[in-house]
Amino acid sequence: MTRVAENKFTVIEGTEKLDFDLVHAWLSKDAYWSKGISRELVVKSFQNSLSFGVFHEELRLVGIARLVTDKATFSYLGDVFIDPEFRGQGVGKLLMNTISSHPDLQGLRRQMLATHDAHDLYAKYGYAELSRPDRLMEKLES
């Protein structure tokens, strides 16, 4: 299990310490990509992913992220959210540094994500616009 501390913030891998009431509130009310998502779906998605929580002074949950991955060739980074009160304090960078150096994510052929407003942050970690968008498709369910 990964555990990385910097200043007053600690990134912990896993779901054991996640406050799912708070995670659900963030994702269902504040995150533009998942408005209205059910608590059950949030819990299931984090429990079946490589999940991370960022804690302030090891107590208060201030950030989250999860990766869907086979740990061999592919990962999809999703549900990255930092508590608005803690934005601009390096929490997102600490979280991304931890994810980028995670041993299960080294040597993957493709890592993907979707973002509306954080292109510059993710570019610092090697993410770029799709090289071949004509090859990707999606199936959306309501």
Alpha-carbon distance of 122 to 23, in angstroms, equals: 22
pLDDT of residue 54: 98
Handedness of CA 52, 61, 97, 42 (dihedral sign): positive
3-state secondary structure of 39: helix
pLDDT of residue 30: 96
What is the domain partition of the chain in residue ranges? 3-127
pLDDT of residue 106: 97
Strands of the chain (E only): list them.
Answer: 3-6, 9-13, 50-56, 60-69, 74-82, 110-113
Print pLDDT tens along the chain (142 aa). Answer: 777 767 899 999 999 999 999 999 999 999 999 999 999 999 999 999 999 999 999 899 999 999 999 999 999 999 999 999 999 999 999 999 999 999 999 999 999 999 999 999 999 999 999 999 999 999 988 6
pLDDT of residue 62: 98
Tell me if the domain spanning 3-127 has CATH number 3.40.630.30.
yes
Q: Which residues contact 71 (CB under 8 A, 6 or more apart)?
A: 50, 104, 105
The candidate with the shortest Cα–Cα distance to 122, out of 95, 104, 102, 103, is 95
